Amino acid sequence: MSNLTVSKHFVQAALAGAERLGFDTNEMLREADISPDLLRIEMARVSSDQFSQLMQVLWHRLDDEFMGLGPRRARSGTFATMCALVIDCPNLEAVYRQAFQFSRLFEPMVTMELVTEGPSAQLETRIEGDIHDPSYFLRESLLVIWHRLGSWLIGQPVELEKAEFDYPRPPHGDEYRHIFHCPLEFESDRTALTFDKRFLTAPVIRDRSEMRQFLKTSPADLLSRPDESNTFTGRIRTLIGRDFSKPLPDFEWIAAELHTSPQTLRRRLKQENTSFQEIKDLLRRDMAIYYLGRQELPINDIAGKVGFTEPSTFHRAFKKWTGVTPGAYREGERGNLQE
């Protein structure tokens, strides 16, 4: 199981196009194993598996990889065709140039373009025509998919120096810290990702059989399940593990395991917009949500599993994370939430 969760904001943002087109979004949610009741909880989250399923339901039902948010439809299979083209590229620069050439064949154009200036490279959003993207989900998805696809193709993280957005910081702006792991700039004159040019010469190391496997769940998995090994945050999550019933490793041990000094690791986490304490808290939250989905587990047992000796302390922490008690959250997942 994946122990990552996705904010309900992204669930609702992804469904905005289907809703506008008159689809029954509650039915789509249920198909993805998400209780529509859960979304009535203000700070609810779903598992990355559920979110990935929802994306696949959406693309299939709408036959549109832009999810009804774009200036036109991108029929199912568009992304896979682009991937079939770029798999033979020699390096990352060729991948991004080829992907842009492919995307500009469609009108109006919805794509990312590689721009190289000085020591840095940018992937800039190019969108023509009117989009129906009230929560910025289409724009966020483009950035995330192109960035994570590139990283997967070269087998290493394309470390971001900066992410810019040509719109004001949205209410869910805090979630961006955990998506982009780099400094964020809102109200910029463009929507773009900046990274060091050296990544452009990195060779493509994947082959066609790996690509076939990758496409079985992509791009849904790219959105919901980033390759966590790409970041210090992800590597720390892995080192901490999932068993919170025993004492957690301390920061010094973690730094030593990652072959870095505590000072350097603190600095790197700051660059990724997080801290050791926050990583532990969010991991506890995600594990608690996972265990609450297993209806047979008593809530007091879950408290112990996520490292709380006192159930009352767990209740307080969970309410801080989600706005409701563990019991109310479980009722929301069951679809029994009372007004």
Whole-number Å distance between alpha carbons of 133 and 121: 26
pLDDT digits (tens, 9 = 90+) for 177-226: 888 888 999 999 999 999 999 999 999 999 999 999 988 888 888 877 66
Dump strand ranges (E) for the chain.
5-7, 45-47, 110-117, 120-127, 160-164, 184-185, 192-196
Whole-number Å distance between alpha carbons of 46 and 266: 29
Cα–Cα distances (Å) from 137 to 13, 159, 223, 304, in that order, read: 6, 22, 11, 37
pLDDT (average), residues 229-233: 74
Q: What is the pLDDT of residue 13?
A: 96
Q: What is the pLDDT of residue 188?
A: 97
Whether 339 has a pLDDT exceeding 60, the answer reads no
Look up the pTM and report it: 0.83
Residue 63's pLDDT band (cuts 50, 70, 90): very high
pLDDT digits (tens, 9 = 90+) for 132-189: 999 999 999 999 999 999 999 999 889 999 999 999 999 988 888 888 888 999 999 9
Domains annotated on the chain, with CATH: 5-229 (no CATH), 231-334 (1.10.10.60)
Residue 109's pLDDT band (cuts 50, 70, 90): very high
Q: What is the pLDDT of residue 229?
A: 60
Q: What is the pLDDT of residue 156?
A: 87
pLDDT (average), residues 313-330: 90
Whole-number Å distance between alpha carbons of 315 and 319: 6
Mean residue pLDDT across the chain: 91
User: Considering only CA atoms, which of 271, 141, 114 is closest in space to residue 200?
Assistant: 114
Tokens read off for 4: 């990552």
Whether 227 has a pLDDT exceeding 60, the answer reads no
> 321 CB contacts (<8 Å, ≥6 apart)?
43, 281, 285, 288
Tokens read off for 175: 């979630």
Q: What is the pLDDT of residue 184?
A: 94
Q: Positive or negative, the Cα torsion across 156, 104, 143, 24?
A: negative
Whether 304 has a pLDDT exceeding 50, the answer reads yes
Whole-number Å distance between alpha carbons of 181 and 231: 8
pLDDT digits (tens, 9 = 90+) for 10-32: 999 999 999 999 999 999 999 99
Residue 338's pLDDT band (cuts 50, 70, 90): low
pLDDT (average), residues 271-292: 88
Looking at residue 91, the DSSP 8-state letter turns out to be B
Residue 23, Ramachandran bin (φ over 0: left; ψ between -120 and 50: alpha; else beta): beta
Q: What is the pLDDT of residue 1?
A: 44
